[in-house]
Structure 1
Amino acid sequence: VLKGVTDPEEKRKRIGHKFIEIFEAEASKVGSARWLVQGTLYPDVIESVSLRGASVTIKTHHNVGGLPEKMNLKLIEPLRELFKDEVRKIGKELGIPDEILKRHPFPGPGLAVRILGEVTPEKVELLQKADKIFIEELERSGLYDNVWQAFAVLLPVHSVGVMGDFRTYDQAIALRAVNSTDGMTADWARLPHEFLQKVSSRIVSEVRGINRVVYDISSKPPSTIEWE
């Protein structure tokens, strides 16, 4: 589906179509499934398509503009006009556990929009390993709940490094951590330098194919939280 695709918008749209294709196939096995319930939030709608007039599309969210025009399922989106903080307040009133309520947001298109350029199985594996280390260390250090969202991004950049007595020419990972209330604006998280050093050391030591780690200190706006 994503072979040779590098454009972020094209990635999102292809993933949205494949998502519905698979979902409809699985739903047909149930027999009576007619509805697709989605957790679409208002920021998804704002970035994809405006509810109150024309707006510039920032990113197509697969659950909004990325869905095919014709599909056999009808949509139910009870959270469509709510922000993340409002959803969490409702969840708290309903007694949903904190480990679910405080879980960091994750993009609908998955890791495909955290791999800049073409997506391959090898790149996905690299990113998964680096991201796991980042999240593990946030949890161990008691910092996970102090940031709104944190993740790793695989960059389409190779740079020269040294491992022991040998030259390397490997890829780079960017770490992204932000604080926000509703996802519409965000500020980069001021994580301790010692913490970032530990994460960086683990990634370059444990993830073969990565020899450089950088930290993203961009806020939204002008940047978006996700890189693609």
Structure 2
Amino acid sequence: MISPNLDIPEHPERPYLSVVVPAYNEEENVVPLAEEIIAALTTLPGGFELILVDDASTDATAHRIKQLKHPRVRAVYHRINCGQSAAVGSGFQAARGEWVATLDGDGQNDPADLPAMLEKAVHDGVDCVTGVRRKRQDNFIRRFSSRVANGFRNWITGDQVSDSGCGIRVVRRTALREIPVFNGMHRFLPTLLRGQGYTVAETTVNHRERLRGTSKYGVHNRLWRGIRDCFGIRWYLKRAVRSDRLDETRK
């Protein structure tokens, strides 16, 4: 845990951590999850902000977000449904913190993991810490399709990510400046960061059952789309100009 005695001054306009949560038709989850995040980060040195991104939900998600009056909560609303990666990208653009964290909007990621992940990133001197779900609470089909897609991703991209589908991560905000936003980006974020020359570490995290609402993903839009996207990522990695090389050129 980050020590509460750590001397990080709090600036309302420049919080230490920005937490981005994309939400689509999560009217039952968005308020309880926001309350959990606030409780988990109340004593965080340097302060935090919570950015809830409503991806043009057709239920009462936007209304629930507007009911939240906490001073650390900010909201972004999409006019049309653009997908989870676009919602995450909108949150990245709105973030003001030195570090940016992401969680899925379904409540299966545990906000209590965030302080330890941030502490690991700072202590290890890395640009990103990504979660690896411990005792994953999903049905067999979802676990199997994710395992197949994850292995295929690593084979095609040449990267080694233990759980690319895990939505809880902590990333240095400056490392996000050149990450392209496309449908599926959130699943490849660790690989994209490494492709730009940034450092990524992994840590085990808690995973919970979905208690409310319904999943937006199945075999079609998770397994097959992810496998197809791998070829695009391989193309991008071979042609990307690494940020660390640009920095060396400027010196």
TM-score normalised by L of structure 2: 0.30
Greater RCO, 1 or 2 (C-alpha within 8 Å, sep 6+):
2
Q: Rg bigger for which structure?
A: 1
Question: Would you tell me which structure has more helix in proportion to its own residues?
Answer: 2
